[in-house]
Chain A
Amino acid sequence: MTQSLGQKAEVGGATGSMLRRIPADRRRKAIVVLVAIALMFLPLIDRNGGDIDAAANACAFAVLALGLNIVVGFAGLLDLGYAAFFAIGAYTYGILSSWQVQPMWSDFWGPFQWLGLVARIHADGVPDVVHFTVSFWLAMPICGLVAAFFGALFGAPTLRLRGDYLAIVTLGFGEIVPIVARNTPYLTNGAIGLNGAAAPKIFGYSFGVDSNPYYYLGLLMIAVLIFVSFRLQNSRVGRAWVAIREDEIAAGAMGINRTHLKLLAFAIGAAFAGMTGAFYVAKLGTATPDMFMFPVSVMILVMVVLGGMGSVYGVVLAAIILQLLQSWFLQDLTSWAHMLGHAISVAWLQKVDLVQSIELIFGIILVSMMLFRRQGLIPAVRATPALSLEQQTAHAGRGGFAVPIRGIEATKVEPKRAMLETRKLTRRYGGIIAVKDLDIVVESNTIVALIGPNGSGKTTTFNLITGMDEPSSGKILLLDQDITGLPAHKITERGIARTFQNLRLFANMTVLENILVAMHSRTTTGPLGAVLRTQQSRTEEKDAKERAIEIIEAFGNRLLPRTNQLVKELSYANRRRVEIARALASRPKVLLLDEPTAGMNPMETLELADQIRSLRGMGLTVFLIEHKLNVVNDLADKIIVLDHGEKIAEGSAEEVHSNPQVLEAYLGRKAAHA
């Protein structure tokens, strides 16, 4: 008995290991290809038109879910009015192809008639009118563009809001669009519904009311959008979205224009919805405002949540499951319940209608996924390889970075020039003056330390310089150029990088990804380049990765073995190192370090101090806040002392330490005079 069990286990183990020998991504690819082939043959196996029709609708909703996944999953923006963009696309196609809008004929329409976009309709006794006959294949991208335009128009002022406010604003927008559609019957035929939108034609063959061509078109759309989603996700744009989702403020400090990128996600999502709108209306032949109300937005959200926010295959799977649940399973279940009800003569079972309970199921899915499985059916995250014992033991090295870091040298400025300067810099919070009339000059290629008791305005000064906070008055200059009031990402672009006192890493990204994000302002690949993977974008990505690895290598075996580990799995000291590496990756002229050695042991502190010194050797200017005075004395060419937001001393270590005001600030009046 035990033997046979053992044998069985062995056999199972053997096939398991055989499967495991195939790399995970190839296994996944094989599954996807098999599923795709099976789906392509579905209409041949299942000859029931109703089933194929349901499957075509499922395709449309899968595309919508993929679009919303970019907004909610990739960029982390909760959009509760997504159906509004679906509606905009649907009505745009409806107007471009139906009998709904028929202006008077005039010569203006002549050229359009020649292009085949409109037809001249003649009837005896009445003036000629225009009939729009824009081809589906032309209209679909137009619908996408129109929806994207509205997405941008609406998003531009609202995307600056906090995430939860955005949710409610999108909810409002989602309400407004169907109401406007209902109240403008001239364009939409109101609640009655659009009049006869044309079916797509290809080489003279009209799709008509047959479901099969729509099903194949739907599959094609899903395939294209899966491709686009993956290309976007693994690109400069996708990384910037994750960074915004993880920590908006840090994303700004990495040189990411947050409003711009959120708008991009919003517009791309809207474009997907708009194109699906065209598809859906062409298939149905009509559109009514009820098709785009709040429950539709929620349904698409449920698909994204069920599949896993950010998980491309997950949302497609979830969309299909939920659509089939609605159009097949619940009906079957209902009839089984009725049969059971008759069999055991229970009255309510004979009348129960489970199809109506679909929204209840949606609610339960939302709550239980959030409580028990937030990553969704198919999680978007991947496992990280474990470290060997050798890789885990790190030795404190001395002497700083052995090899100069590319890009840092390139930004070299002639020494002893006023690199960073503040003039009468002031920040008030209500009655409190956090920074007052501060004049600082940081000369190029030097290390300047900013010290002072807690609450003396050091971090506020850093925040003002890096655009995280706006000065009440005063000026900030970088190489004599005024940078006061510029947004954080512009300041990073100009060449100031920083680390944060409390660490603001993107915890759910790998070390490598964190560093790649920081190169945002030094790279240019946009969404189009990312999707098409142009020559330029490929070279750029390759170069960025090489540079990132170089920077990681500079930290030796502290970081190199952990390149592909998630940052949240790192030790505190290693996170500090990643922050510095990340700041270096943006190729700064000035590096602002806010307590870089906090939480490090004495050996690690010395190691880091050497590294900072070697950065100066490469031509970088360093401005740091530090509490460990031995580090400051050892490193700094100049020390600036703040107390109550004012500069009380400035000079070399000896000068500062003998300054009575400094002693008073640090030790109190009595001690200073003792």
Chain B
Amino acid sequence: MSYSDVLLQQVINGVSLGAMYALLALGFTMVYGIIELINFAHFNIFMVGSFFAMWVLKLTGLIGQRVILTGFPLVGVLLLALVGVMLFCGVLGVVIERTMLRPLRNVPGTAAMITTIGVSYILFNVILLTQGAAALNYPNPMPNVFWKIAGATLHLREILVWAIALLLMVGLNVFVRRTRMGKAMQATAQDQEAARMMGIEVDSVVMLTFFLGSALAGAAGLIFGLYYNFTSYVVGYTAGLRAFTAAVLGGIGSIPGAMLGGVLIGLIESLGGQLIATRWTDVIIFTILILVLVFRPSGLLGRLVPRKS
């Protein structure tokens, strides 16, 4: 493999990672857009999602990478896991919002953010205490099909990751732009008070936002497991922070921004690891986070949200 091939390979890896980060970043950006809250629980909704999808896959009889499916059964099993995990995480997000965040919606200051940290910690430790600290082998029914592009390898799993991510993002975009509820979401993001006066039920919009964001995090959890063939209680923290950086980089509150930011952070992670050193990756990503927040808080595509006074 020549150096340029290595770089090409890293681009492929980076875009795959980026697709996952983008899905996760969408949840941050949507919730922030609607109620201006950084939802730290999102980190571990993603992690719980990867576990839930694993249980669904195991229930269908898959064990590790030994059972290989093709054709209709493969699509069926993956679709089952995807729909299952999205529903589960969506409901989990709504329950968290409904029971723990709604009572704090109008409390000024940092109370709601502190609560999301607490929720995140609870999810994290429930999984740690019940599932143990060791990384678990992830059931993966995909055949080891790959294509050679120049000197790099493109696996089926990468194409699958891109396809799921693209499909969900296009779906989300259509939903937000075309449907009645989507328009209600946009209106609420711009001005909650005005939206309320137009007859929009803000509470339902917030619940819907949590449902969609958490469902996408669940999908990202499944993708994580299929891509890396493992999951563990710690995966939410790193991935969550990177996805948050992606949301900020793209412009928090902006849906296309989250997608762009996700792919960029994925590329930075894979290429930065290649060109500098993996052990500095986190430092690079956090430096980007801090620099963007300080010098361009609206991000690459973000509109500057008017400060609520």
A365 located at the interface, meaning its Cβ lies under 8 Å from any Cβ of chain B in the complex: yes
Q: Are B290 and A183 in contact (CB under 8 A)?
A: no
Q: Are B297 and A298 in contact (CB under 8 A)?
A: no
Q: Pick from B107, B117, B290 the residue with the most CB of A within 10 Å.
A: B117
B152 located at the interface, meaning its Cβ lies under 8 Å from any Cβ of chain A in the complex: no
Q: Which of A138-164 contact B (CB under 8 A)?
A: 157-158, 160-164
B80 located at the interface, meaning its Cβ lies under 8 Å from any Cβ of chain A in the complex: no
B248 located at the interface, meaning its Cβ lies under 8 Å from any Cβ of chain A in the complex: yes
- Other than the given A164-B37, A176-B287, A301-B114, 16 more pairs (CB < 8 A) read A72-B110, A76-B110, A162-B307, A163-B109, A164-B113, A167-B113, A168-B293, A183-B279, A305-B114, A357-B125, A363-B118, A363-B121, A367-B118, A371-B115, A374-B107, A374-B111
Q: Which of B14-40 contact A (CB under 8 A)?
A: 36-38
Q: Are B120 and A363 in contact (CB under 8 A)?
A: yes
Q: Are B294 and A179 in contact (CB under 8 A)?
A: no
Which 3 residue pairs of A and B lie closest in terms of their CB atoms, listed nearest first?
A: A366-B118, A363-B121, A360-B125
Q: Are B109 and A366 in contact (CB under 8 A)?
A: no
Q: Which of B205-251 contact A (CB under 8 A)?
A: 237, 241, 244-245, 248
Nearest CB on B from A117, distance (A): 32
B119: chain A residues within 8 A (beta carbon): 363, 367
- Can you spell out 25 A-B residue pairs with CB atoms less than 8 angstroms apart? A72-B110, A80-B117, A161-B297, A164-B113, A168-B244, A169-B290, A171-B241, A176-B282, A179-B279, A179-B283, A183-B280, A294-B237, A305-B114, A357-B125, A360-B125, A360-B126, A363-B121, A363-B124, A363-B125, A366-B115, A367-B119, A367-B122, A370-B114, A371-B103, A371-B104
Q: In the complex, A497 Cα to B5 Cα: how many Å?
A: 66
* Chain B residue nearest in CB terms to A368: B118
> Interface digits, A289-303 against B, CB 8 Å rule (1 contact, 0 not)?
000001000100100
Residue of A168, A179, A365 near B248 (CB, 8 A) is A168
Q: Are B38 and A164 in contact (CB under 8 A)?
A: yes
B117: chain A residues within 8 A (beta carbon): 80, 298, 301, 366
A165 located at the interface, meaning its Cβ lies under 8 Å from any Cβ of chain B in the complex: yes
Nearest CB on B from A508, distance (A): 10
A160: chain B residues within 8 A (beta carbon): 294
Q: Which of B265-309 contact A (CB under 8 A)?
A: 279-280, 282-283, 286-287, 289-290, 293-294, 297, 307, 309
Residue of B38, B125, B279, B286 near A176 (CB, 8 A) is B286
Q: Are A172 and B113 in contact (CB under 8 A)?
A: no
B100 located at the interface, meaning its Cβ lies under 8 Å from any Cβ of chain A in the complex: yes
B38: chain A residues within 8 A (beta carbon): 164, 167-168
**Chain B residues close to A by CB (< 8 Å):** 36-38, 100, 103-104, 107, 109-115, 117-122, 124-126, 128-129, 237, 241, 244-245, 248, 279-280, 282-283, 286-287, 289-290, 293-294, 297, 307, 309
Nearest CB on B from A499, distance (A): 15
Interface of B is mostly: helix
Q: Which of A178-194 contact B (CB under 8 A)?
A: 179-180, 182-183
Q: In the complex, A364 Cα to B117 Cα: how many Å?
A: 10
Nearest CB on B from A99, distance (A): 25
Q: In the complex, A449 Cα to B117 Cα: how many Å?
A: 50
B103: chain A residues within 8 A (beta carbon): 371
Report if A370-B104 is in contact (Cβ < 8 Å); known contacts: A172-B290, A363-B121: yes
* Chain A residue nearest in CB terms to B252: A165
Q: Are A76 and B297 in contact (CB under 8 A)?
A: no
A359 located at the interface, meaning its Cβ lies under 8 Å from any Cβ of chain B in the complex: yes
A216 located at the interface, meaning its Cβ lies under 8 Å from any Cβ of chain B in the complex: no
A263 located at the interface, meaning its Cβ lies under 8 Å from any Cβ of chain B in the complex: no
Interface of A is mostly: helix
Q: Are A298 and B121 in contact (CB under 8 A)?
A: yes
Q: Are B111 and A78 in contact (CB under 8 A)?
A: no
Q: In the complex, A383 Cα to B25 Cα: how many Å?
A: 45
Q: In the complex, A366 Cα to B101 Cα: how many Å?
A: 13
Residue of A158, A180, A357 near B293 (CB, 8 A) is A158
Q: Are A173 and B118 in contact (CB under 8 A)?
A: no
Q: In the complex, A382 Cα to B55 Cα: how many Å?
A: 52
A317 located at the interface, meaning its Cβ lies under 8 Å from any Cβ of chain B in the complex: no
B110: chain A residues within 8 A (beta carbon): 72, 76, 78, 163-164, 167
A183: chain B residues within 8 A (beta carbon): 279-280, 283
* Chain B residue nearest in CB terms to A245: B109
* Chain A residue nearest in CB terms to B117: A366
Q: Are A172 and B289 in contact (CB under 8 A)?
A: yes
A637 located at the interface, meaning its Cβ lies under 8 Å from any Cβ of chain B in the complex: no
B124: chain A residues within 8 A (beta carbon): 359, 363
A356: chain B residues within 8 A (beta carbon): 128-129
Q: Are A179 and B282 in contact (CB under 8 A)?
A: yes
Q: In the complex, A182 Cα to B124 Cα: how many Å?
A: 24
Q: Are B283 and A176 in contact (CB under 8 A)?
A: yes
Q: In the complex, A173 Cα to B104 Cα: how many Å?
A: 27
Q: Are A173 and B286 in contact (CB under 8 A)?
A: yes
Nearest CB on A from B78, distance (A): 33
Q: Are A168 and B121 in contact (CB under 8 A)?
A: no
